[in-house]
Structure formats: structure tokens, C-alpha cells
Structure 1
Amino acid sequence: MEFDLQRLVIFLSVFTVILFLGYSYAASRLSAPFELNTFQSVLLWCAVVFLVLLTPSAYILSLFYRETPWQKFWAYSAFTTLGFSTILVSFVVFRDLGNLVWKGSLFISDKLQASATQTEEGSGFSRRDFISRFSSFALLGMAGGLTAFGMYQAKKSPSVKRVSIKVKDLPEGLHGFKIAQLSDIHIGPTIKGGFLEEVVRKTNSLGADMVAVTGDLVDGTVGMLRDHVSPLKGLKSKHGTFFVTGNHEYYSGVLAWIRELEEMGIHVLLNQNKLLEHNGATIAVAGVTDYKAHTIIPGHRTDPKQASQGTENAHYKLLLAHQPNSVFEAAKAGFDLQLSGHTHGGQYFPGNVFIHLFQKFVAGLSEWEGTQLYVSRGTGYWGPPLRIGAPSEITVLVLEKHS
């Protein structure tokens, strides 16, 4: 089997249960002010069940069946609906939390509480009923508007982001060394070869000295996505393209993808490095397996120290690592710069709010114990075709001598 079927079943089962709980909560809270009859209630809960099953069914179809127009339509419908629904559920939760705070403040003030009670008495359709119904429509409208905006942001071509990496005592030969970073492209159910062709075209126009692809290239098997990934062969740079595995490669048949990428002429670094001679100076380009790879393939445990072996005489040491958390070991191994992705910068609301609870390094340039770290927001997207507050990027990092 090209991927772990047991893990897929467990993931989809847990995912479906979470969706049902979230969708059910939002549906019950939004419909509460309208006093639905039995027929309307049945229709509502049928719609909830349909929406819950829409996304896992689209994902399964993308794994096991060749792309067709109806499948593409199903996938876009499913993942767009997922994005809309997660935004809507978040709005409902935040509204209800706000109401709890408000009711708590009224409870503290007996006078206000009594006033509120008197206002509601003797009225068939109170002001409170109107506000509750208006609130439900308003949340639906806001979620719809954000979904439309997020789709536009996600589907447009990624912008080029230029980042200057200041390096003390950098050899003159490496001053101006240009790295193009692509990350988290997620070729799969809704991102196909046409998107990647445009990314390759833009990347080639940058005149980079090397290209780094920092994981999560695919969401699907080689058999399903080989043709859609083939535009990567067109990447051009002085020293070539380097790739490290992300967690989604391990969900998609990583060994087959490693072979496929190597056949395309891409350097896959599995706790390894390659020394590049550039204008009389040496830069070590190392790469580690995904931070959690050992949970799927024990022999793929990430190891920055092993990746650094043989780089002692390099003038500059670069590490490619999909997850930013690799930087803690990368600093101990003496790397000067780590390039990562994985976080998507949160991708869209509410992810870009809660991502900070789970990741110390979310996006942009930072430093940890002498090792600089750049975290890309990603070149594509995962799941819902949405980007809100976390634009996709093709990153150009330029090494510059800093006295």
C-alpha cells in the first residue's frame, strides 16, 4: 500500500466526529431563535449530516479515483464549505462567549437584570428575539463574505517576498547568495499542475542560486499526482533544487515520492547535506526529515546533528527543516540559518489566531540561540481554498554581509 490505510481511517473518523460536533452546535444555536417545525428541523439536520460527510468523501475520492470534472467540482464544493463552516462555527462560539460575559455582568447588577426582565414581559416578539434572529443572519453573511475574500486570496498567484539575511563575517563570495524557498504547496484535491507551473515560472524569473522546497509538496500518492508535480522538473537555479520531507509526504507514500523526486533531478536530503562551492566560498545545504517522521517510519527520525556531519569547514551552514521546532536541535548542531514552513501562518481565521498557542515560531524571520530561522507562510494552502491574514508566498532570501 502506498500510504497507511489504518492511519487514514483513524484520521477521517476523528475528523468526521469533530465536524459533526462543530456543525451541530452552530446549527442548533443559529436556528434556535426561529422555532422551526418538525419538517424544517429534519431538513436542517439532513443538511448538517450531508455537510459533515461532504469533506471526507471528497478526500477519499481524490485518493482513489482519477480526476474528472465532477470530482473536481465535488472537491471544491467540499473544501470551500469546510472553510465557510469553520469560520461560521468560530463566529457562533465567540458570539455565545460574548453573551455569557454580558449575562454575567447583568447578573451582578440586580437593577439591570430586573429592567431586562420587565422589557421582555408582555411582548409576543421582543427586541431580544429580533436581535437573536438578526445575529444569526449577520453571522452567516460575515462568514460568507470572508469565505469569498479568502478564496480570492488563496487562488491568486503567490506573491514574491524578499527577505534579507544579515550575516556577520560572511565571506565575500557568499554576499548576495540568493535562495528561493517554496513550501507547503499541497498539490492534491484542489491544487493541480497549472498552479505549480505558474509557481515554477515565477521562481525561475528570480535568478536564484538554489531552490529549497521545505516539505508538504503533496496530498496524495505518486500514482494520482505524478503528472501534476512534474512541472517541478522545470525549476532552474545555479546549484539546483533541494527538498526535505514534510508530514504530508508521510501520509502520501513518502518512499515512492522520494524516488519520484530524485528521478526528476531534485536533491532529497534525509538527514544529509551537500557542500556547494560558490565564488570561492563553501555553503553547506543540509536537510532533515520531518519532525514527526519517526512516528510513521522509525528509521526516518529527524537528526540535525547527523545532517551537519562533514560541514565543519563550510563558511555558512543552511538547514532545511519542514517544521520550525527543528531549530532547537539545529542551533545545537551549529547551523547559521534554518528554513521551514508547516504553519501556513495560520492560513485563515480562526487558525491565524490559535496557531500561536501551538507554535513558538509562526511566520517570518526570528532567531534562536544564534541560529536564524525563517518560517514561510506557504506557497499553496491545505484543505479549504482560503487565505485570510496569511498570504501565500514565494520567498527570496538573500545573504548579506553584516559587519
Structure 2
Amino acid sequence: MKVFFLFLSVLTSLLGFIYYYSTFRLISGLSLNGPIVTLILVGIGALVILVPVTYIFSRVSKREKTQTFFAYLSFTHFGFFSILFTLVLVMDLLRVLDFGIISDYSRFLFSTLLQLGFPIDGVTEVKNFSLAFSTIVVATALSSLGFYNAHVRLKYKKTKIPVQNLHRDLQGFKIVQISDVHIGPTIKEKFLRRVVGKINLQLPDVVVITGDLVDGPSATLKHHLKPLADIKSKYGTFYVTGNHEYYSGVLSWLPEIEKLGIHILLNENKIIHVGESNLLMAGVTDLTAGSMIKSHQTNPHRAMLGGESCDYKILLAHQPNSIYEANKVGFDLQISGHTHGGQFFPGNVLIYFAQKFVAGLHQYKGTQIYVSRGTGYWGPPFRLGAPSEISVLTLQSVE
């Protein structure tokens, strides 16, 4: 709980800086003054406070429709201001690095707005006004596109996993992965039912869920997981925990997930017999789990026990950074999520400072790693430059 409130405190402070910096720069650029400025600043303060309040409310309230409404309101403006802040920084840079192009554009835009009847004839700083106005328009357009992508676009990401000396009975073995669904404040049963429908269309041999399935208490959200019971695959569905399960009461969630017929792998494994071959499906707890529940300390070595002689060894690990230990233990493939691919701009640029493996298929020494961009989203209901995915991984023999 202390970690949760520390997280909210840091988040609120960061939001306060982002929101107010962006607002002051745009107020200056638009040459606003008088009572409207006071009104805007008070409104911005309310929006900042709304984010942590909504996050807490979503975890304690039983009024689902109300909390969903406020969650959408809160996290949407959170995403909008994240994009706006980045564009404001770009605006400030363009104001300095003009090269004449920006001035020409500013005069053109300003004259166009005057012709359209905008009441801006009293504005004296044409360039500042035009840049500020454009920043708001572009931020609104990008936010709208991001919202659309997160809610409408859900595509398969098909990847062939090349394997040397692959057992003939594992040729074409199909794994469908979902990750980072984040059932919680704004993602509900309807979305998950759509995901399950798309999973089943792929006729998978096995389905894997690589953490951050939920984002809130089981008491209020468990009924939204019902569609998972309808997943159809030849060898079952396997699940590992992500960091958000530990923020959401993981011990109460695990029995609910198990009731759906899902195999939970907590530093353990299951050997799948495919024809005459043996495939090891292992899973570890989240990298941070041990700091919250000591018995859940991630342990790839334990996850391997008994499966060392299998023909192909897969490790499910929420965070890509588990790859270093996975390689030491001898896994052939690690399947992960966690990164969201950065989710939306500028996150899809900044994420590379925190993660070496962000999305797609990579190789680390003798172990391959596939990282999903995630199926849902966290916080802001946006996807921009990092599309959500249902990953379809097919083992393919190579010479």
C-alpha cells in the first residue's frame, strides 16, 4: 500500500508540472489575460487532482458506471496533456529556431483565422499566437487518433520464430499471446470478449497471458474475466503475473484466474507432449514481485526444474529484463510484455531509455525473446505509434 501511495504522489507531482507548464506557455502564446486566466488555472488544478482521486476511487467504489465515467475523463486528459506537453516543448524550440519558415507559416495562419472570423485582431505577437494555436490543434488531433487506435484497432501481429534443429513434431506449433490487457477502470468484459473471439479464430496450439491482466481489486472486477473461460486451444492457456497484479491484490486474483481453467505458472512449469516431442512451458513471477511478497521472488532456475531435457524450452516472463537470467538457465525463447511499446508519443521514444527489448522478436546470446506491445492499455486510453496486438507466434524450423 505504501508503494501505491508513493506512486500516486510522484505521479501527481509530475502531472502538476506537466499541466501547469503547458498551460502557462499556451496562455502566454495566446495573449490571454483577465479572469479567464484564473478560471483556466483553477480548472487545471482540478484536473491534476482528479487523476489520483479517480485511481483510488476505481479501486474502492462499487458504482462501476460512475467510476468508469470518471476514469475515462481523468485518464483521457492525462493522455492529452502528455502529448500537449511534448508539443509545447517543440513549440518553444521552433520559436527559437525559426529560419523564416515559422514566421511565414504564422502570418499565413493568422490571416486565415482572421478571414474565418476568429476574434484575434487585437493580438500583437503573431508568431507566438500561431504556434500556440497550432500546438493545441495538433495535440487534439493526435489524442483523437490515439483514442481511436486504442478502442477500434486490434490486430494480429504474426511472427515466425526461427529455430535450428526444431523437432519435427513442433514444426508450425502456434502460440497466441495476449499481454497487458489491464482489465480495470476503463477496460471491461466487452473488450476481453472481443479479444477472446480473435484468439479462437487463430486455432492456437497454446495461449499465453504474460501479465498485467488486471488493474484493480478482484471483488469489483472478477466478473469481467469471464470471457477467458471461452478460450479454445489444443494444449491450454498459461498465465504469469505482471507488476500490476501485485498492486491489485494478487493473492485474491490467483484463485479467480484459476477458476477459468487457466494454468498459473509461479516459478514453475508444465511439460507439453506434442507427438513424440516435449515442449517446456515455464513461467516466472514478475521481476518486482519479491519486494511485495517474498515467496513470489522471481526464479527462472526453479521454473526450469525437471524440464532441462525438453526439446524446446519457453519461459513466460512479464518483463523483458528477465531475459538475462533466462539465458543463463538455458531457455530457448522468452515471451514477454510490460513495455506497451511505449503506448503513445512520447512514451514510444522514452521507453528505449528503460528497456533494451521494447517490441518484436530479438536475440540475446542463445535465447530469443519476443516482446508484445500489449493488448490493452494502461492509464490514458490512447495508442499512438505503438499499436495494440494479439501476438501469433509460430515455431519454424531453419537449417
Q: Which TM-score applies when normalising by structure 2?
A: 0.91
Give the Cα–Cα distance (whole angstroms) in 1 for the partners of residues 203 and 124 of structure 2.
62
Give the Cα–Cα distance (whole angstroms) in 1 for the partners of residues 44 and 73 of structure 2.
15
Corresponding residue for residue 269 of structure 1:
265
Corresponding residue for residue 33 of structure 1:
29
TM-aligned CA deviation for residue 402 of structure 1: 1.0
- The Cα offsets for residues 312-338 of structure 1, whole Å up to 9 and x where unpaired, read as 220000000000010111011110000
Aligned residue among 136, 142, 148 for 2:138? 142
Give the Cα–Cα distance (whole angstroms) in 2 for the partners of residues 155 and 64 of structure 1.
25
CA contact (8 A) 2:175 2:392 kept: yes
CA contact (8 A) 1:336 1:371 kept: yes
Corresponding residue for residue 187 of structure 1:
183
Code of the aligned partner of 1:285: M
CA contact (8 A) 1:216 1:245 kept: yes
Give the Cα–Cα distance (whole angstroms) in 2 for the partners of residues 369 and 209 of structure 1.
27
- The Cα offsets for residues 207-229 of structure 1, whole Å up to 9 and x where unpaired, read as 11110000000110110111111
Q: How does 1:43-122 map to 2 (within 5 A)?
A: 43-100=39-96, 102=97
TM-aligned CA deviation for residue 263 of structure 1: 2.1
- Give me the identity figure in percent: 48
Corresponding residue for residue 114 of structure 1:
none
Aligned residue among 240, 243, 248 for 2:236? 240
* Secondary structure in 2 matching 1:96: helix
Whether 1:278 and 2:274 are equivalent positions in the alignment is yes
Whether 1:384 and 2:375 are equivalent positions in the alignment is no
Give the Cα–Cα distance (whole angstroms) in 2 for the partners of residues 62 and 324 of structure 1.
29
Corresponding residue for residue 18 of structure 1:
14
Aligned residue among 195, 203, 216 for 2:199? 203
TM-aligned CA deviation for residue 9 of structure 1: 1.9
* Secondary structure in 1 matching 2:162: strand
Corresponding residue for residue 173 of structure 1:
169
Give the Cα–Cα distance (whole angstroms) in 1 for the partners of residues 82 and 43 of structure 2.
16
Aligned residue among 325, 331, 338 for 1:335? 331
Give the Cα–Cα distance (whole angstroms) in 2 for the partners of residues 139 and 128 of structure 1.
18
TM-aligned CA deviation for residue 71 of structure 1: 2.8
Corresponding residue for residue 367 of structure 2:
371
* Secondary structure in 2 matching 1:213: strand
Could you list the structure 1 runs, at least 4 aligned residues long, displaced by more than 6 angstroms after superposition. Answer: 125-128
Q: How does 1:211-360 map to 2 (within 5 A)?
A: 211-360=207-356
Greater shift, 13-22 or 177-186, is seen at 13-22
Q: Which TM-score applies when normalising by structure 1?
A: 0.91
Alignment RMSD: 1.8
Give the Cα–Cα distance (whole angstroms) in 1 for the partners of residues 315 and 385 of structure 2.
27
CA contact (8 A) 1:157 1:198 kept: no
Give the Cα–Cα distance (whole angstroms) in 2 for the partners of residues 319 and 186 of structure 1.
21
- The Cα offsets for residues 167-198 of structure 1, whole Å up to 9 and x where unpaired, read as 11111111111101010000011100000001
Corresponding residue for residue 111 of structure 2:
none
Give the Cα–Cα distance (whole angstroms) in 2 for the partners of residues 157 and 301 of structure 1.
36
TM-aligned CA deviation for residue 56 of structure 1: 1.5
TM-aligned CA deviation for residue 38 of structure 1: 4.0
CA contact (8 A) 1:157 1:199 kept: no
* Secondary structure in 1 matching 2:393: strand
Give the Cα–Cα distance (whole angstroms) in 2 for the partners of residues 389 and 37 of structure 1.
36
- The Cα offsets for residues 90-143 of structure 1, whole Å up to 9 and x where unpaired, read as 11123224445x39x99xxxxxxxxxxxxxxxxxx9998101011111000000
Code of the aligned partner of 1:273: N
